[in-house]
Amino acid sequence: MNKRTVSLSEDEYRSIVEAISNGFTYTDTEGKEHKFRRNRQLATICVVEATTGLRISDVLNLSLASIKKDGNRHCLDITEQKTGKHRNFTVPEELFKVLQDYAIDNGIKRTEPLFSIKERGVQKQLAIVAEYLGLEGISTHSFRKTFAHRVYEKSEYNAELVRQLLQHTSVVTTQRYLGIGTRQVEQALKDVATAFLCV
């Protein structure tokens, strides 16, 4: 199996979330059949990571109290566990509603963590889902990478915007993270020159 974590296509992302949400039956390496029960918690974790770009450690520490109302928007104001950097950004209304409904349905108080699972447990369950779907290189970090790639494409390839959202220290780090190689950068420069050098 490929150990390098990959970004997900939209179809792969939807397949993973649907499999987790609906459950499935799979056969382990010893030929025993098992049921993967529907898991709303795991599905919600994947959705949060893919729509915010937060690392799994920060997602698992979220509570509804982490999200404050600021005028007509909801803001998440956190200090990232891995880097110690402060991050403040708008939480889309749709995502806030998903989290609010999840908390209500599961009797989770505003100040309590939304998710009662450790990172290792998330990785283990996600590995089962990826194996079932025949996907390689999938880990929790795939959802953060998917967020980064989506922002990069939707922003017309603005690596600086992705850098800011992921809180990387440099655009070079972001380019490596996105897998933008030197050849691609050189080709982009050549294309721009060809388009604008009309003398």
Residue at 127 is within a domain: yes
Q: pLDDT of 126-173, one tens digit each?
A: 999 999 999 999 999 999 999 999 988 888 888 888 888 888 888 888
Could you write out the DSSP letters of every residue in 28-97? -TTS-EEEE---HHHHHHHHHHHHH---HHHHTT--GGGEEEETTEEEEEEE-TTT--EEEEEEPHHHHH
Residue at 185 is within a domain: no
Residue at 167 is within a domain: no
Residue at 190 is within a domain: no
- pLDDT of 3 above 60: no
**% the chain with pLDDT above 90:** 63
How many domains is the chain partitioned into structurally?
1
**pLDDT category of residue 198 using cuts at 50, 70 and 90:** low
Which comes out higher in pLDDT, residue 74 or 175?
74
**What stretch of H or E contains 180?**
none
One-letter amino acid at 151 equals V
- pLDDT of 106 above 60: yes
Distance of CA 89 to the CA centre of its chain: 15
pLDDT at 164: 84
**pLDDT category of residue 192 using cuts at 50, 70 and 90:** confident
Q: Which token pair is 27?
A: 């056969």
> Which CATH number goes with the domain that contains 54?
3.90.15
**pLDDT category of residue 94 using cuts at 50, 70 and 90:** very high
Stated pTM of the model = 0.84
**In which domain, by residue range, is 81 found?**
10-140
pLDDT at 7: 92
C-alpha to C-alpha distance for 3 and 165, rounded to whole angstroms? 25
> Most confidently modeled of 5-9, 76-80, 81-85, 165-169?
5-9
Residue at 32 is within a domain: yes
pLDDT at 2: 37
